[in-house]
Amino acid sequence: MTNKSKSKSKTTSVAEKEKKPPTKVSEPEDDEEYDYIKIPPDGGFGWVVLVACFLINMIIDGFLYAFGAISDDLKSHYKCQEWAVSLVISLACSCYLLSAPLASALCNKWGCRLIGIIGGIIAAVAVAASVFVPNIQLMWLLFGFIGGIGMGLVYLPSIVMVGYYFDKKRAIATGIVTAGTGIGSITFGPLSRFLFDRFGWKNGLLILAVILLGCVICCAFMQPLKPVRKRRIMHDVELS
């Protein structure tokens, strides 16, 4: 009798399970229900970052545009032709722009602030060291190649950080930052000419290298945004 009652209870429980409607089960809770996203503040500390990025554009582009002020000095000092002097700034501008893919990959891995600081140090040291080289070929290497890459590592973070800190005001913020190029080309031309006339081209270039080092201070303000915890839209999953 006991065996029969056990078999009946088993069949009854199986039948009850079959009659039960499919249950709705939500996806796991806790952190799996949330996303961590970075929300652009569109202001606040973003304006400080905007000013820092503006100054970076002003310093780097103004510095490159002002190089022509010492072309005659370099030509007479190294006793080289005009094309050799022009190649210095051509290499610097080329490496400055061609290093963008490298800079973007490094920023994705280690962040804009660190890469910008490293790039600023590389650029300033390379430009300062180029003052003491014995020939124009080494200036191609230091000022043109290494210095150009360093400037590229600073320039790209200054553009990327605007997109991180601004969303609705991104267009106007980007316009303000890129306007630094125009301000730099206006101010650094007379400034460099004054420095070279007053202190000589070597000391003048060293002073400009110190100004270039100011990009490191600007990059220090590129604080990464902290992610905000947002609840994800969950969809119930039917299990039959």
CATH assignment at residue 137: 1.20.1250.20
**What DSSP letter does each residue of 97-136 carry, written as one string?**
HHTHHHHHHHHHHH-HHHHHHHHHHHHHHHHHHHTT-SSH
In a domain, 215, yes or no: yes
* Separation between Cα atoms, residue 67 and residue 198, nearest integer Å: 16
Q: What is the mean pLDDT of the chain?
A: 84
| 96 band by pLDDT with thresholds 50, 70 and 90 | very high
> What Cα–Cα distance (Å) separates residue 79 from each residue in 106, 117, 127, 196, 222?
39, 35, 20, 18, 43
Evaluate if residue 198 carries a pLDDT over 70. yes
> What six digits make up the tokens of 155?
């320039």
Burial class for 214, CB neighbours closer than 10 Å (0-12, 13-18, 19+): middle
**Is the backbone of residue 162 left (phi > 0), alpha (psi -120 to 50) or beta?**
alpha
Q: What are phi and psi of 230, to 5 degrees?
A: -125, 140
Q: Are 32 and 159 in contact (CB under 8 A)?
A: no
Maximum mean pLDDT: which of 11-15, 76-80, 224-228 = 76-80
Evaluate if residue 240 carries a pLDDT over 70. no
Instruction: Check residue 232 and give its pLDDT.
Output: 62
| 24 band by pLDDT with thresholds 50, 70 and 90 | very low
Q: Which H or E run includes 71?
A: helix 71-78
In a domain, 234, yes or no: no
| 66 band by pLDDT with thresholds 50, 70 and 90 | confident
* Separation between Cα atoms, residue 53 and residue 162, nearest integer Å: 8
Total domains in the chain come to 1
In a domain, 132, yes or no: yes
Q: Are 112 and 225 in contact (CB under 8 A)?
A: no
Evaluate if residue 8 carries a pLDDT over 80. no
In a domain, 131, yes or no: yes
Instruction: Check residue 134 and give its pLDDT.
Output: 93
In a domain, 184, yes or no: yes
In a domain, 25, yes or no: no
Q: Which of 48-52, 139-143, 157-161, 228-232 has the lowest mean pLDDT?
A: 228-232
Instruction: Check residue 35 and give its pLDDT.
Output: 59
Q: Which of 18-22, 63-67, 98-102, 120-124 has the lowest mean pLDDT?
A: 18-22
In a domain, 187, yes or no: yes
> What six digits make up the tokens of 123?
């650029």
Evaluate if residue 26 carries a pLDDT over 70. no
| 10 band by pLDDT with thresholds 50, 70 and 90 | very low
- Higher-confidence residue of 238 and 182: namely 182
Residues pairing with 229 in the sheet: 36
Q: Are 125 and 205 in contact (CB under 8 A)?
A: no
| 179 band by pLDDT with thresholds 50, 70 and 90 | very high
For range 35-56, the mean pLDDT: 84
Give me the domain span that covers residue 172.
Answer: 43-220
Evaluate if residue 9 carries a pLDDT over 80. no
Q: Are 201 and 192 in contact (CB under 8 A)?
A: no
- Residues 67-89 as b or e (16 or more Cβ within 10 Å = b): bebbeebbbeebebeeebbebbb
In a domain, 16, yes or no: no
- Residues 2-21 as b or e (16 or more Cβ within 10 Å = b): eeeeeeeeeeeeeeeeeeee
For range 172-201, the mean pLDDT: 93
